[in-house]
Chains A and B, each alone.
Chain A
Amino acid sequence: MTATVPTAAALALGDDALVLSHRLGEWAGHAPVLEEEVALANIALDLLGQARVLLSLVGDEDELAYLREERAFRNVQLVEQPNGDFAHTIARQLYFSTYQRLLYGRLAAAGGDGEGGTLTGLAGKAVKEVAYHQDHAEQWTLRLGDGTAESHERMSRACTALWRFTGELFQPVEGLDVDWRELESDWLASVSAVLERATLTVPDGPRTGAWSAGAGRQGLHTESFGRMLAEMQHLHRSHPGASW
C-alpha cells in the first residue's frame, strides 16, 4: 500500500464510475436500436473498469461495492438518477462525461507524485475512454435536440430535469488538487456549446438542491439509490464470505 492514495478521492471517483456503470448496465436488452446496445455496454464496461481500479486503490473492490451501506457511498447524485427515457440517459451522459473528461484531463496533466500521484495513471488511461463517452453523448444530444419535434421536447425536458444535479460535480474533493471554479466554468462552456448546437436552451434553474446537509459526496443520496443498491448487493450479501 502506498501512503499517497487519497482515499476520499478514490472513493468519490470510484463510486461515480461504479454507479453510472450499473445504471447503464440496466439498458442491456432495452436499448432503442441494436447498435446502441453495443455502444452503451462499451461505456458501462469502461466505467466499471475505472471503478475497479479506483476502489482497489483503497481496499477490496467487492467489499467496497457490496458491503457498504447507502450512506457510505460518495458518488454524486447525478450518476444514480434512474435511466428514464433515452433522452434522460443521454443528458446524464453529457453532463457527467464532460465533467469526467475535464477532471481526468487535469489529473493526468498534473502528473508527478503529489497527493494525487496514484490517480495519475488511471486518469491518463481513463481520459481517452471518457473523451469517447463525451463524444457519444454529444452526437446523441445533437440528434435528439435537432431531430424531430418529439425528440427535441424529450431532450429539453431531460436536460432541465437533471440540471439541478450538476452543481454538485464541482464540490471540492479532498485530496484532488484541482481548480474547481475553473473546472466548473470550462464545464459550463462546453455543455452550453453542445446544447446550443443541438438547438436546446441552456437550463436556467438552480444547479444544486436547497438541502444544506449536502448531497452525494456527503453520503446523502436520492430515494431510488437505495433500491438500486438493494438489487446490486442482494446476492453477494446473501452468501457471506463466499467467493464467486
Chain B
Amino acid sequence: MTTSDWPLWEVFVRSRRGLSHTHAGSLHAPDAQMALRNARDLYTRRSEGVSIWVVPSTEITASSPDEKDPFFEPSADKPYRHPTFYEVPEGVKNL
C-alpha cells in the first residue's frame, strides 16, 4: 500500500421507498464522506436509488470466516420453511 491508496467501501442502495438497501458493489474513497458522494455518482447515475449506505469493506464480518467451507450450505434440509412445502386444496385463495 502506498499512501495514495484509498480504502475500499461496500455500497448499499435503497432503490425506492419501501425496499431495503441492497448491495450494489464497491468503490474506493479516502473517507466516508467522499465514499457517499462517489457512490451517488457511480451507482445512481440513472436514478437507481433514494438512499445510500457505505461501509468500509474491512468492517464487514462474514460467515464461514476460515474461508474453507467449500460452500455455504443453506438450510436445504428444512423445506418446511418454504411456503411451497405445503399443499393447499385447489380453489383456496389468499393463502
Contacts and interface: CB of A to CB of B under 8 A. Distances in A.
- Direct A–B contact in complex, judged by CB atoms less than 8 Å apart: yes
A33 B41 CA distance: 14
B33 A139 contact: yes
A39 B45 contact: no
B38 A38 contact: yes
A136 B37 contact: yes
A33 B27 CA distance: 12
B42 A38 contact: yes
A216 B38 CA distance: 34
A236 interface: no
Interface residues of B, number: 12
B41 A135 contact: no
A143 interface: yes
Contact of B27 (A35, A42, A136, A143): A35
Contacts, number: 25
Interface residues of A, number: 9
B14 interface: no
A35 B38 contact: yes
Interface in B27-53: 27-30, 33-34, 37-38, 41-42, 45
Interface in A30-51: 33, 35, 38-39, 42
A33 B30 CA distance: 11
A42 B47 CA distance: 13
Contact of A139 (B28, B37, B41): B37
A35 B41 contact: yes
A139 B34 contact: yes
A35 B33 contact: no
Interface string B1-21: 000001000000000000000
A93 to B, nearest CB: 14
A143 B29 CA distance: 12
Contacts of B6: 33
Contacts of A42: 41, 45
A39 B38 CA distance: 7
Contact of B30 (A38, A136, A143): A143
A182 B76 CA distance: 69
B42 A135 contact: no
B29 A35 contact: yes
A42 B28 CA distance: 18
B37 A38 contact: no
Contact of B42 (A33, A35, A139): A35
Nearest to B28: A35
Nearest to A43: B41
A38 B41 contact: yes
19 contacts: A33-B28, A35-B27, A35-B38, A35-B41, A35-B42, A38-B38, A38-B42, A38-B45, A39-B37, A39-B38, A39-B41, A42-B41, A42-B45, A135-B37, A136-B37, A139-B34, A139-B37, A143-B30, A143-B34
Given A35-B29, A139-B33, 19 more contacts: A35-B27, A35-B28, A35-B34, A35-B38, A35-B41, A35-B42, A38-B38, A38-B41, A38-B42, A38-B45, A39-B37, A39-B41, A42-B41, A42-B45, A135-B37, A136-B37, A139-B37, A143-B30, A143-B34
